[in-house]
Amino acid sequence: MESKTSNLIDLIKSRRSIRNFIYQKIDKETIRDILECGRWAPSGQNCQPWRVCVVIHPTVKRMIAEQTKYGGIIESAYVNFVIFIDIERGYDRVKDLLAMGAFIQNILLGVHAKGLGAVWIGEILNNKEKVNEIFKLPLDKFELMCVISVGVIDNAMEEKRKKERERRLIDDFIDLF
């Protein structure tokens, strides 16, 4: 058991945002395995308020890319998960948003466990209405949460931009009682 726990902790600590990809196909089974990780995220009353548009087609990628200053990342990734909260499936806004965060993190960890790279793009929320239009999803039923761009890591480019990762010390954000 210690080994599995240690492996999980190492996986969590080693995950990082990847913004440079080599355009290489990712098979459908791998994509489904990654989404399966998201599917097991906790949600209040098990409502599972997520909806994902899986985008591989270059034309649709370009349409999404035009909605953010990080469009180059979206276009260079093999697949993009455009993630929405399904408002009608939810039951409590705060709890539903927390569930969406867990869903997104599970997907990011699934990508990392598969040896691929991903980045969570939130800046696209500035144009969330236009993204809904692309997928013909009504604004009163689906709200954009983010895009996760996924691909094979361009290790040479990532090495060039690699810098020391900083995290706050635990004692900076806890209070012991």
pLDDT tens-digit series, residues 123-157: 999 999 999 999 999 999 999 999 999 999 998 88
pLDDT tens-digit series, residues 84-118: 999 999 999 999 999 999 999 999 999 999 999 99
H-only helix segments in the chain:
2-14, 28-39, 58-65, 71-76, 93-113, 128-135, 155-161
pLDDT value at position 176?
87
Domains and CATH numbers, the chain: 18-160 (3.40.109.10)
Whether the pTM exceeds 0.75: the reply is yes
Using the predicted structure, report yes or no on whether residue 1 has a pLDDT greater than 60.
Answer: no
